[in-house]
Amino acid sequence: MAIEVDYQVTIPDPDSRLPDADQIHRWITAALALARPEQDDAEVTVRVVSKEEGQQLNSDYRDRDYPTNVLSFPFEAPVELPLPLLGDLVICAEVVEEEAKQQHKAVIDHWTHMVIHGTLHLLGYDHIQDDEAEAMEQLERQILAKLNIADPYQVFTNTEHNA
């Protein structure tokens, strides 16, 4: 499986709590291995943004005027053009860190969860309906367990996500 990740950090003075490109790559690879094992190649852009940019994108694309943890923009190629582009993830570092603190989680574990959560959205998973949310959360738990990360929903139960 060849996974290509374009990792862009756009926030000024990124601190050491941001994951590195290898971690992002490992998390996306883990998500694809369980959620879409037949996927041979994939390209994903992961962009780390400020609260301001996150809020603007959330407002522009989801009509929600507040910053959010992760936004997913799936790439929909024409059928006759089979490209491995999955799409883009936009992650607000400040929101992820705030949520981790509020939920009493390690920041890196919450980053892992948000990258996996966003990747599943790129693959077509959603959590609008209860049954969809249950299926998506179960898959997230399985992927996170493979990475030795605790069930994020056991620590903080909330089926309303921002992504």
The answer to whether 51 and 67 have CB atoms below 8 angstroms apart is yes
d(CA 86, CA 67) in angstroms, rounded, equals: 23
pLDDT tens for each residue of 34-73: 999 988 899 999 999 999 999 999 999 999 999 999 999 9
Find out whether 117 is annotated in a ligand binding site. Answer: yes
- Looking at the chain, list the stretches that DSSP marks H as alpha helix, in order from N- to C-terminal side: 21-35, 51-62, 93-102, 107-122, 130-146, 152-155
Spell out the domains of the chain, with CATH numbers in brackets: 2-150 (3.40.390.30)
The full DSSP string for 135-154 is HHHHHHHHHHHHTT---HHH
Find out whether 110 is annotated in a ligand binding site. Answer: no
pTM of the model: 0.90
pLDDT tens for each residue of 98-137: 999 999 999 999 999 999 999 999 999 998 888 888 999 9
Find out whether 127 is annotated in a ligand binding site. Answer: yes
d(CA 30, CA 64) in angstroms, rounded, equals: 30
